[in-house]
Chain A
Amino acid sequence: MSQIKSNKKLKWSLDFNSKSRSQTAEIPSPPGYSQSANANYTESSKDSDSQLLLIKKLWDVALAPLKQVPMNMFIMYMAGNSISLFPIMMVGMLIIRPTKALFSTQSTFQMVEGTQAVGQKFVYMIGNVVNILLALYKFQSMGLLPTHSSDWLAFEEPLTRMEHIGGGLSML
């Protein structure tokens, strides 16, 4: 449990550690003891090119959205243009995920305190924006975007009548 928690916080270090100490992981750690955090700290401090690794990890994070693009395109293709529950759920996820990611850019890059990862952030944002655009394109092709006059038809007020009529066949 604790391991996973730390993983979330510093993902890159988890990978790194788990692989290096696969045999020690068999023994359960005492509660409250966070092996990884400790190890990570010592490792990174020890490593001379930690800076490079950090940058690399940052790039990993930054490029993740772009890497998703082909997969998203495939999902979009698979979802089809019909409007039913599952395609809607899929397409909804397509747009919600990058939007969420965009808003949490700051927290995603928080792990690098002090480092000004402007380039990475920019690429990350671009990637998410590309995803959003893709999703919007999908919405458009599914006809979910209210861009046509027919989409606003229901809100158009009907004409009121000026003249009123009465009458019929002669009653004589």
Chain B
Amino acid sequence: MCIYEDQIGKFDWRQTYVGRIKFAQFDTVSTAKKIIVATEENVLAALNLKTGQVMWRHVFESASSGDIQLLHFSDGDKVTTVTGSNPYLVRGWDPTTGVLLWEWPISIIDTERAHLSEWWVQNGMLVHLLPAFGSHLEVTMYNLMTGSNRGATSKLPTVWTNDGCILTPPYYTCISGNMGNYMLLSLDVTSNAVQIISKPLSNYFSEGEVIEGNLRPLDGKTSQPGFIIDDKAILLIKNNEFEPLNVRLADQSASATFIDAISGPMLVQAWSDENKGLSITAYNIATNTEITDMQMSGPKINIPEAELLGVLCINTAREQPAYRILLNGADDAVHLLQQGGRVVWSREESLANIVAAEFVDLPVSETDAALESEFDQKEAIKVYSSVWAAFVRRLHTQYQQLHTLIQNLQGEGAVLDTPSPLVRDYFNLHKIIVLITDVGKIYGMDNLSGEILWQRYDGNLNTESVVMFTRRSARHPPHDAYVTIIGKHEETGNGYVISLNPIRGTLVGERVLRLDVRLLQVALLHTVDAEKLHALILLDEDETVQVLPVSAAPLVRDLYMYVADRETGRMQGYALKYDGRQVIAQRTWSLNLGGAGARIVTIAGKSRTERVHSAGKPLADRSVLYKYSNPNLLLVVLERPDPTHKDVVTAVAVDAACGAVVAASTHRRARALPLAVHSDNCLAYLYRSDKHRRLEIATMELYEGNERWLPAGTQFSSFGCARAPSVERQAYIVPASLTALAFTSTEKAITDTHLLMGLSTGMLMELPWAYVDPRRPMTLSGEPREEGLIPYAPELPLPAEASLNYNRTVQRVRAIYAAPSGLESTSLVLATGLDLFYTRVAPSKTFDLLKDDFDYHLISIVLAALIVATYSTKYFASRKMLKQAWK
């Protein structure tokens, strides 16, 4: 359960992310050059300019109260942020250490318009602008450090404002007027004298051009106030005058910014094209020349919808300016580029938002594959007609093995540096984790190193309710592994199916499939077709069924599907059957769990790969308490407001095949958390007790009793028996707040199952099921003691030793994924959240593995000593015998 200090980083790794970057500022003043970033995930962080690593990081509230509205890096030594959404908080940070310097709150009295607020910092003052479209602008200035209000709010009458206006501090710019008669108006809101700059918009367009009148601010932190009109013309505001640039926007989607280079102000543009890749141009405004050494284009770097976050111009020793360009992609990845297009570093920030993960086995090596095919019975019959042929084959493979062994021995020194090929290791501990991120980017990650092996961005994939199935593992050598991701199309909401090889990340099979209907649910067929592929069963909106591949349709039998509606709490079950022509779904059951007004908080089913090893629990009197392990069982947790008991949480165990309720219980004055787990006959879910203001975990265990209902080895059918299992229930207090919950899973389920919990503090805890066992007795005497039950204590122990990630905390743990390895004792665990943490756990200790501190020297010394002792005593004994005989 706990690890040793010397095992730090041996089996685990952590990756730290900040999320999609919203604001970025270069800090070149401090000794350690860095980029201060504020992100969509409400994180303020400092990234090392050279390596891209996080130097310090502050994670704000994930709710809207943590939204970052402004990031300002004043050239002195202060970072200012404005966070929250009315009330706002202004905080100052030390850029080198990240320590908080000051903070003060602002509340906007006008709550309805508060979200329109604009913030910026000017001359050591925080300026707050609150527009009232069509009427006026309210401008308030605060002392940045103390929040004291210098002068009250000033109201600037501006009848020409509308919601298309933009702020280019300190100018507030609008396009006003009718179609074809647009006026461009701008106002310096901080100046004491109200001076409106007003020009007809047609001044900046050539004759005949259609003017739509869209304003867009420049990206990044521009050195000069400027904006883009209609994605074409770029204007600057200089000395209270509009100043059109000679260059136009290079591409409609181009992102542009101004920087102060040594040679003068410069316009940098970046845009990406699907075919041509990324292009960057730079233009010196003062000299009206293109800066060629910054220009680049080419398909080398592909950043979808590149956006400039900032450009840094440094003077190197050789008087030659060096540029660093920070780019953000639609795939949330952030790249720092040098001039010439070399990527200094990239950060895959979409990994801060993982929605699904799956562990995929690696294929066996070629020699092993040959060996396996040899022992494959069907294959053997096909290939070898005689015993003799089989024997020859055997010898051949043996020779091959010997050959590779010798080769390995010879080339051991040389091959050390080359990365290990992606083949399965002996204990199947090496796997690939396929990760789907919120933004629609799919990654293949090496589980041992955390290295990204492949990535694939699909902007059309909406991952709102995405599911992933391993349709074929790599265990069937001639066929590759096959993973299918089913999501929605970003625009239409229709089904969107991506099939890929999880080892290489290449598209296979159905490749990318755009369905023309919306999907209700998806299931994986339990039987495989001739190519060892599990077919995909898609249930449409109108309850028709599609089978992928179509040829697998006749295989569909004994398959049931359920669909639950989150908002109404209604569940429906379908029986799927092949009627000779197609697969039809018949609605067989429908329930209204939770009553009227209830909503489903979470559903926990058994994992598809789950196995049940033991049929029951031996009791102290050596009889067996047989488990009720219905493979079709679901745990549904619902919540609904109740007039008399505030909120009521209902947990129902439903057989999803026949729709029968197996067990149910309610909690009054409680709110459900979307955390429920279900494995074998154990069910657990969390709720917050409003009455006692604490988190509680309710556990259930289902038992058949002392007699088996069905003889061992027979088929379990949900339709077979109507007997109700006995339910053991208990509740425990969790003295922490959890954000993720999971069970460990091992290959044969012989090992104990432990609960894995992600805490709000960033810790990952491992808790043996024995602690939440509903059968924990109040007093310990006699039988329970012999059975090894722990006496009841209402509060669960969460000692630091049970922490999986010691002081490598994982911020905002969202989910924990556990997968079995080839070692029965070991379960692989990945925790996702803002950070990623991977480790392996051994719930019943590593009983099938030598400890890693196993003292080989001692054991060999002892063995050698014993052998020596044996022979020497033999010698001495024989001598003594001889002597005695002569006596």
Contact = CB atoms under 8 A, between A and B. Distances in A.
B521 interface: yes
Interface in B306-344: none
A31 to B, nearest CB: 7
Contact of B714 (A1, A154, A160): A160
B823 interface: no
A150 B600 contact: no
Given A148-B623, A153-B614, A161-B632, A168 B521 contact: yes
B460 to A, nearest CB: 16
Contact of A150 (B558, B618, B717): B618
A71 interface: no
Interface in A53-67: none
B671 to A, nearest CB: 19
A148 B623 CA distance: 6
Interface in A108-159: 143, 148-151, 153-154, 156-159
A163 interface: yes
A118 B622 CA distance: 43
B656 interface: yes
Contacts of B524: 166
B615 A170 contact: no
Contact of B563 (A157, A159, A167): A167
B717 A162 contact: yes
A169 interface: yes
B562 A165 contact: yes
Contact of B521 (A157, A159, A161, A171): A171
A166 B564 contact: no
Contacts of B613: 158
Contact of A162 (B488, B541, B558, B615): B558
Contacts of B563: 167-170
B564 A170 contact: yes
Contact of B716 (A151, A161, A169): A161
A28 interface: yes
Interface in B696-735: 710, 712-720
A154 B617 CA distance: 10
B600 A169 contact: yes
A85 interface: no
A5 B717 CA distance: 71
A159 B537 CA distance: 25
Nearest to A150: B618
B717 A165 contact: no
Interface string B483-502: 00000100001000000000
Given A161-B632, A166-B561, A171 B713 contact: no
Contacts of B863: none
B522 interface: yes
A172 interface: yes
B623 A150 contact: yes
A1 B885 contact: yes
A19 interface: no
A52 to B, nearest CB: 37
Nearest to A31: B885
A164 interface: yes
B411 to A, nearest CB: 46
A153 to B, nearest CB: 6
B565 A28 contact: no
Interface string B558-588: 1111111110000000100000000000000
Interface-centre pick from B566, B631, B884 (highest chain A CB count, 10 A): B631
A158 B885 CA distance: 66
B657 interface: yes
Nearest to A161: B631
B614 A171 contact: no
A150 B560 contact: no
Nearest to B493: A172
Contacts of A159: 612, 615, 629, 710, 712-716
Contacts of B564: 167-170
B304 interface: no
Nearest to A28: B887
B551 interface: no
Given A160-B715, A165-B562, A150 B624 contact: yes
B651 to A, nearest CB: 16
Contacts of B605: 165, 168
A143 B618 CA distance: 12
A170 B521 contact: yes
Interface string B537-561: 1010100000000000000001111
A165 B560 CA distance: 5
Nearest to B519: A171
Contacts of A28: 887
Contacts, number: 133
Contacts of B99: none
B713 A160 contact: yes
A158 B656 CA distance: 20
Contact of A166 (B523, B622, B714, B719): B523
B252 interface: no
A153 B616 CA distance: 7
Contacts of B488: 171
B562 A167 contact: yes
A160 B632 CA distance: 12
B615 A163 contact: no
Interface string B599-614: 0100101000001111
Contacts of B614: 153-154
A106 to B, nearest CB: 31
A165 B632 contact: yes
Given A170-B563, A171-B520, A162 B716 contact: yes
B513 interface: no
Contacts of B616: 150, 153
Contacts of B221: none
Nearest to A157: B713
Nearest to A143: B622
Contacts of A1: 884-885
A170 to B, nearest CB: 5
B558 A164 contact: yes
A159 B716 CA distance: 6
Interface in B462-499: 465, 467, 488, 493
Given A143-B622, A165-B562, A160 B522 contact: no
Nearest to B713: A157
A172 B562 CA distance: 14
B619 interface: yes
Contacts of A165: 523, 559-562, 605, 631-632, 656-657
Contacts of B518: 171-172
B347 interface: no
Contacts of A163: 558-560, 632, 657, 717-719
A172 B631 contact: no
Contacts of A148: 618, 622-624
A171 B565 CA distance: 9
Contacts of A161: 631-632, 715-716
B797 to A, nearest CB: 27
Nearest to A2: B885
A166 B469 CA distance: 11
B526 interface: yes
Contacts of B624: 148-150, 153
Interface in B99-147: none
Given A159-B714, A169-B603, A149 B623 contact: yes
A144 to B, nearest CB: 11
Given A158-B615, A162-B558, A169 B566 contact: yes
Given A162-B716, A164-B526, A165-B631, 15 more contacts: A148-B622, A148-B623, A151-B622, A153-B614, A162-B717, A163-B717, A163-B719, A165-B523, A165-B562, A166-B523, A167-B521, A167-B563, A169-B564, A170-B566, A171-B518
Among all A-B residue pairs, the 5 with the closest Cβ atoms: A166-B523, A150-B618, A157-B713, A148-B622, A167-B562
17 contacts: A149-B622, A149-B623, A150-B623, A153-B615, A156-B615, A158-B612, A159-B714, A160-B715, A164-B525, A166-B559, A166-B560, A167-B523, A168-B563, A169-B564, A169-B565, A170-B521, A172-B518
